[in-house]
Structure 1
Amino acid sequence: MARTFALALTTAAALTVPPSVAATGPQPGRAAADMAVTYRATAPFQQHANGVRAGYKPDRYCVFDRVGGTGALGYPHFNHAYDNSTDPAKPTALFYEDDRGGRKRLVAVEWLVYDRDQDPTTDDDRPSMFGVPFKGPNRGNFPGQPVHYALHLWLWKKNPEGKFTTYNPAVTCLPGTTRPLPHPSP
């Protein structure tokens, strides 16, 4: 009976992990367990309305790589109650892309942790998750955002550049959906 129960648990766990991840093979110990937690915690957010109800506030603009032109993030949805979280079940942000039916499709998650000394030239407090160090420290992306570290995880859409790479070349922003560039002052 115990073996049947263990087999049922193993089968149920395999069903919660998308085939793209199952095909990549096992990850070492804690990283794999944490990844499974993230899948389970964010699966309900596949339905955009569930992410919004959970406190993730949508940005009306799609974010793309303005510097390297190597893809996009999609539409960020932040829940600032999870700023500084390194809990695999509580990412700071969800990222959605437009699907062909005019709906939003969950593609990635992100954790954001503030730099302790707010000095972008030091990194002695760099966090890591899934055995991967966060990127940064980065200056804020908008007025008032502190210097921070960030870790993107392309959990729900494959990123050909790697699952922890910031931008995904397989994600595009539809025309007219990106934040307009600021006008230069005269």
Structure 2
Amino acid sequence: MRGAATLGAAALGVAALLAPFTAPADAGAGHHMGGGMGHHESRATRHDVAVARSATRGFQHTPAARAGGYALFKDVQGIACISMRGMGAMGVHYVDGALVDGKIQLRHPEALVYRFTTNGHLRLAALEYLVTRQAWRVDHPTGRPALFGHRFNLTPKGNRFGLPAFFSLHAWVWHPNPMGRFTMWNPRVHCPQGI
């Protein structure tokens, strides 16, 4: 189980760090959503967002995430808050490595993503769903996972961290993202220096 947690945390970090270098499965999708927070989403997507919000409502702050089996993730350089100049940030990831298991479960995201508020506290902003390509291929010989009506992004093997290829999707269900609810970076999220 410890190996699964380590692989899950490492894979999530790769998703966060390589996001600007990976091509989204639905390039351009989500950017037309008028703020990205439900304006042109289907009824099914709105329903799934409501279900995800209900399932994660109790994780608004990091102590609840830790109590629920999620752990702080830092990249290989020890950085916890993932950002990209000119794009904004994802924020601080808490990962439950036991959930990185080949299944995508709407109510059980592999990662909870937190943003810094104006008073410096962390508050839940997004959910991240993640599965390794190898694990996904066991039951799905082709294609990418999809959730909320969006296909996941692929980060290929051979990445600078030496991890296997994986699929991931961010869902900004707790904090608005003007770039689109299902894009990786949020210009309204910022990381303090040195975090």
The two structures have a TM-score, normalised by structure 2, of 0.68
Paired residue secondary structure (1:116): helix
Measured in 2, the distance between the counterparts of 1:62 and 1:141 equals: 20
Measured in 2, the distance between the counterparts of 1:172 and 1:141 equals: 25
Paired residue secondary structure (2:115): strand
Q: Do the aligned residues in 2 keep the contact of 1:73 with 1:95 (CA within 8 Å)?
A: yes
C-alpha displacement of 1:24: 2.9
Measured in 1, the distance between the counterparts of 2:71 and 2:83 equals: 19
Say whether 1:97 aligns with 2:115: yes
Measured in 2, the distance between the counterparts of 1:125 and 1:97 equals: 32
Measured in 2, the distance between the counterparts of 1:138 and 1:75 equals: 23
Paired residue secondary structure (1:155): coil
C-alpha displacement of 1:99: 1.7
Measured in 2, the distance between the counterparts of 1:142 and 1:74 equals: 21
The AA in structure 1 aligned to 2:190 is: T
Say whether 1:133 aligns with 2:148: no
Larger Cα Rg: Structure 1 or Structure 2?
1
Measured in 1, the distance between the counterparts of 2:164 and 2:47 equals: 30
Q: Any residues of structure 2 matched to 1:1-186 within 5 Å, and which?
A: 21=37, 24=39, 27-29=42-44, 31-59=45-73, 61-65=80-84, 69-83=86-100, 84-116=102-134, 124-139=142-157, 143=161, 145-177=163-195
Measured in 1, the distance between the counterparts of 2:54 and 2:135 equals: 34
Matched residue, 2:24: none
Kindly indicate whether structure 1 or structure 2 has the higher relative contact order, using CA contacts under 8 Å at least 6 residues apart: 2
The two structures have a TM-score, normalised by structure 1, of 0.71
Paired residue secondary structure (2:47): helix
Matched length? 151
Measured in 2, the distance between the counterparts of 1:140 and 1:48 equals: 32
Paired residue secondary structure (1:101): coil
The runs of 5 or more residues in structure 1 that have no matched partner are 1-19, 178-186
The AA in structure 1 aligned to 2:47 is: A
Measured in 2, the distance between the counterparts of 1:124 and 1:155 equals: 28
- Give deviations 1:17-52, integer Å, cap 9, x for gaps: xxx95x6366333x3332221001111001221111
C-alpha displacement of 1:155: 0.8
The runs of 5 or more residues in structure 2 that have no matched partner are 1-35, 75-79
Q: Do the aligned residues in 1 keep the contact of 2:55 with 2:107 (CA within 8 Å)?
A: yes
C-alpha displacement of 1:137: 3.8
Measured in 2, the distance between the counterparts of 1:79 and 1:25 equals: 31
Measured in 2, the distance between the counterparts of 1:156 and 1:170 equals: 12
C-alpha displacement of 1:139: 3.9
CA gap of 1:75–1:28, structure 2 versus 1, over 3 A, is same
The AA in structure 1 aligned to 2:103 is: S
The AA in structure 2 aligned to 1:37 is: V
